[in-house]
A and B are shown apart, each in its own frame.
Chain A
Amino acid sequence: MPKKVENVGCPYCGVCCDDLVVTVSDDGKQIIEVENACAIGNQIFHHATGGERVKLPRLRQPDGTYKDISYDEAVDYAAKVLYNAKKPLIYGFGSTNCEGMAAAAKVAEKAGAVLDNCASICHGSSFLAIFDNGYPSCTLGETKNRADVVLYWGANPAHAHPRHMSRYSIFPRGFFTGKGQKSRKIIVIDPRHTDTAQVADIYLQVRQGHDYELFDAFRAVVRGHEIPEEVAGIKREQILEVANIMKKARFGTIFYGMGLCHSDGRNHNVDIAISLTRDLNDYTKWTIMAMRGHYNITGPGAVWSWQYGFPYCLDLTKKDIAHMNPGETSSVDLAMRDEVDAFINIGTDAGAHFPIEAVKHLRKHPWITIDPNICMASEISDLHIPVGIVGVEVPGIVYRMDNVPIQYRKVIDPPEGVISDEELFERIHKRLCELEAEGAAKAEIKAAPAGVRAEE
């Protein structure tokens, strides 16, 4: 008898739908059906059991081919790479659970590594804005239950977060919003007339790269000041109209996406959006939220904040204090500047996402990829370690885009012998401790520094 697993979380996008029903074959090995998920979510589950999976770590040979090795050998290799490097970088965590992130941090701290996640090339600019200006936000259920005005700025959920609009923002009937879409005004601001813009009551086509100016204009108008006749391609009347709707809302949410944090001035676009949200709270209730991409990309920001006080770009190389400064300690900057001498790519594909120059620099040094599947990164690595798929084969806690923790379930077993990220990092940690103990045992007494020419 096939078995139905209910209340399953979807390990794809930041909407973190937790209402999936997955039907699993008799032997518990095949996924037969996935209900409630969107097309992308559906595919994630089928993909897991569809193709060939890598079941053992693979080490690059002198002739360029991969050879299967045991997990023990892989753990030893990874630990030695980390131990011997002067400034290793551990980057990724787009598709890992929080338990794995916590274990990875333990390894990074022990190894003296830089620890970073995909936010670094994505919503990291949101963090910079939050550092500078705060984050007046809410959980998604608040928007569903209360919001009568919803504003998507530089975000296209219709493509990137398919069920966002139906679960939380535009369509659902909430406690104070019993009429669903009819009880809400939808505003979309985007340089492109996206599919999301199709469902908007008001659409403003902001000139590409000039969001900051438009926010500035909204703020000036909300405070009752004059503005020029046109700002960022939008007519004054329209700005006044939208500002008025925002001020008169009972409860509003601004959802912003990569359009804001990937155009010029990145963090400042988000920063001034936060300022506008603050301003509006002098009149009524407004909240703001980043449309985080991957289902648990909010996770590392949470875990590493409670462990170190920083959400990303953690330089732990000093081993006794953590340092963070995106622009310096961010993965791409480090790689571009050729500042790291070992790289662990986990649960993402730096091979595909990093600038080619950065990849070239990283390739000069040992490169290890930890990923359930074959990807660009795994194919240019020195070592590829397969792990179980979180949300399908491995349970755990993930953080939704609104920072709400969702407990994900396991639906099927991982391929035989394949371990979880968490277990892998725990084993690397153990091996590092051993190496450290051996290293301490044979450390020599430091010689006097060379190059001294004292003027005695």
Chain B
Amino acid sequence: MSELIIKNGFVVDPLQGIKGDRMDIGVKDGKIVETGTLSNPKTIDAAGMTVMAGGVDVHSHVVGPKVNVGRLFRPEDKLFKSPLKSPTCSRMEMGFSVPSTFKTGYDYARMGYVFVNEAAMPPLHSPHVHEEIRDTPIIDNAAMPVFGNNWFTLEYLKNNEIENNAAYTAWLLRATRGFGIKVVNPGGSEAWGWGLNCVNIHDPVPYFDITPAEIVKGLIETNEHLGLPHSVHLHCNNLGNPGNYVDTLESLKLAEGYAPKNDFGRKQVMHITHLQFHSYGGDSWGNFESKAKDVMDYVNAHDNLTVDMGQVTLDETTTMTADGPFEHHLCSLNHLKWANVDVELETAAGVVPYIYSPKVKVCTIQWAVGLELALFSKDLMRTFITTDHPNAGPFTRYPRVITWLMSRAARDATMKTFKWLDKTIDATSIDGIDRELTLYEIAQMTRAGPAQALGISNTYGGLAPGMDADIAVYALNPENMPSDPAMIEKAFSRCAWLVKDGVVTVRDGEVVAEPAKRTVWVDVKVPENAQVQRDIYEHFLRHYSVKLDNYSLFEEHLHNPRVIEVDATE
């Protein structure tokens, strides 16, 4: 079968601790192999370039109902903002902040990414999610069903029935072909069913009489009881408000005392997503300020946590989250169009366009907060680059985020465009930080770290023999980095080469092949549980609007699956 050798590149692979050594990487039948085993490989000359594993995105909203609402209700996000179809791609590419599925796949590939974890799947809509996955070319996808406001979960955890909750969780992962436990504004989105919210972790959920804190702890216990590849993945309560870092620190503390239990090399018990939106001080928009330092001090000291940035990119974008009450709050601030979808027994979602303007003080402070999180981090294997796409900005800006992290000059140039520069500097620490991240650290944040946190680092995120042959080559010479930060952005926007599953997929920044993509899901074996079966039957009989047998994804709607098996029967 097909063989490749990627020759003479500077290899950066944090999973193996390789820090830019000049090495060759061998590829055979879609896997990485020792170069000695190759017989007649095609050669990719990577001399003077950086070789990394394909990128892994821990948190991005790319497929599913709310993403699609974002597409549908923003024709203006397409007008004069879509590129012309690339002659080397099979389909058109439409949209800027919420790209079409085709553009999503192509653009991730151009950036050298191969795996994207869809951050929130409403279980009732899983067939929709999988239809979009089918139409997202090249990249492998996983999708996390949301649990934090699910009635089954609330009922089991109220009574501290971890085993039952675990059995239900295993059932739902299978029913939706899901990947792990996502928690969005625990309790708050259920409260939103009545137009209410849970503003802190001790605020009880109406009727269900359980607090967000209890939900999060119960789900951590469930997750470790099952030994899932990924940990609980938490979007904290009270997102986006001044002073919310207090609530965030309380949420982080919920993980204290828990240790990871799994066979997948995962080291955390909780992943906290888009931390930027949760690291604010002050008590009004007037004295709004960064508390990134306080939050990262805590994260640095607790190695059972991982985080991602949720970096504001200063673009016009589309916010979308299962945090229904937050989106309503946002539309009352910016008065733009507002879509909302409450999903029976499970979750909610809202979508509102948003403009992060360099002329608005709050936006430029948010920009600084995100970067500070990364720049204050002592362990970049636990701190990942995201923009919570498309919430803080589109994923296509990752190269710019990387550039800001790697170059103080790039940060300064951006800050020069701020209308309220002095106030931004006063309210943040960004101006006092000289740290510039290295390519190794960027590789930690964009592939090795996320792969480890997701529990897939035996397959993705590294370049060890036996792993998938997903390899990105960037036109950057670590021994002679460009002095112009724009060149860094350019190199990461359009990789020189992307090999996906052993197939040359991108060349000189252009997609040249569209190899089959996969759906990655987690199948957990649990002991028979008659009570949970009964509960499921009852809720579907009385409260769902679809039949139980039509709810679970039909096999024919699952596309090119890669199943990760977990045995939790012991």
Contacts and interface: CB of A to CB of B under 8 A. Distances in A.
A405 B131 contact: yes
Contacts of B332: 282
Contact of A404 (B75, B328, B545): B545
A301 B339 contact: no
Contacts of A395: 554, 556
Given A308-B92, A395-B556, A404 B125 contact: yes
A341 B353 CA distance: 38
Contact of A135 (B128, B340, B546, B553): B340
Interface string B522-548: 000000000000000000001111110
Contact of A309 (B77, B344, B554): B77
Interface string A113-150: 00000000000000100111111111111101110000
Contact of A130 (B72, B101, B132): B72
A307 B101 contact: yes
Nearest to B85: A320
B409 interface: no
Contact of A7 (B75, B547, B553): B547
Contacts of A250: 194
A62 B342 CA distance: 57
B218 interface: no
B342 A404 contact: no
A324 interface: yes
Interface in B47-67: 63, 65, 67
Interface residues of A, number: 65
B72 A311 contact: yes
B92 A139 contact: no
Q: What range describes how many residues of B lie at the interface?
A: 35 or more
B135 A139 contact: no
A18 B151 CA distance: 22
B135 A137 contact: no
Contacts of A322: 78, 82, 92, 94
A244 interface: no
Contacts of B435: none
A345 interface: no
Contacts of B84: 320-321
Interface string B552-570: 0110110000000000000
B194 A251 contact: yes
A127 B131 CA distance: 22
A106 B91 CA distance: 8
Nearest to B99: A309
B275 to A, nearest CB: 28
Interface string A387-428: 000000001010100011111000000000000000000000
A102 interface: yes
- Give the most central of B135, B193, B545, B549: most A CB within 10 Å: B545
A322 to B, nearest CB: 6
Interface string B131-156: 11001000000000000000100000
B234 interface: no
A294 to B, nearest CB: 18
Given A136-B338, A308-B100, A145 B344 contact: yes
Given A7-B550, A102-B135, A137-B340, A307 B100 contact: yes
Contacts of A210: none
Given A130-B73, A406-B550, A142 B100 contact: no
Interface string B105-130: 00000000000000000001101100
Contacts of B553: 407
A278 B339 CA distance: 10
Contact of B94 (A134, A284, A308): A308
B348 to A, nearest CB: 8
A168 B546 CA distance: 11
A305 B92 contact: no
A404 B92 CA distance: 26
A308 B71 CA distance: 8
B135 A306 contact: yes
Nearest to B350: A136
B292 interface: no
B70 to A, nearest CB: 9
Given A306-B132, A322-B92, A137 B341 contact: yes
A353 interface: no
Contacts of A176: 207
Contacts of A59: none
B72 A138 contact: no
B103 to A, nearest CB: 9
Interface in A287-341: 287, 301-303, 305-311, 316, 319-322, 324
A249 B103 CA distance: 43
Nearest to A106: B91
A134 B342 contact: no
16 contacts: A6-B549, A18-B550, A127-B72, A130-B337, A134-B339, A136-B339, A167-B545, A168-B545, A250-B194, A278-B338, A287-B342, A305-B68, A307-B100, A321-B85, A404-B124, A406-B546
Given A131-B75, A141-B543, A309-B98, 18 more contacts: A18-B546, A18-B550, A138-B344, A141-B344, A144-B344, A145-B345, A174-B542, A284-B194, A285-B194, A303-B131, A309-B71, A309-B75, A319-B92, A320-B85, A322-B92, A322-B94, A406-B550, A407-B557
**The 10 residue pairs across chains A and B that have the minimum distance between CB atoms:** A141-B344, A134-B337, A141-B545, A285-B195, A320-B85, A138-B342, A405-B127, A305-B72, A136-B340, A134-B338
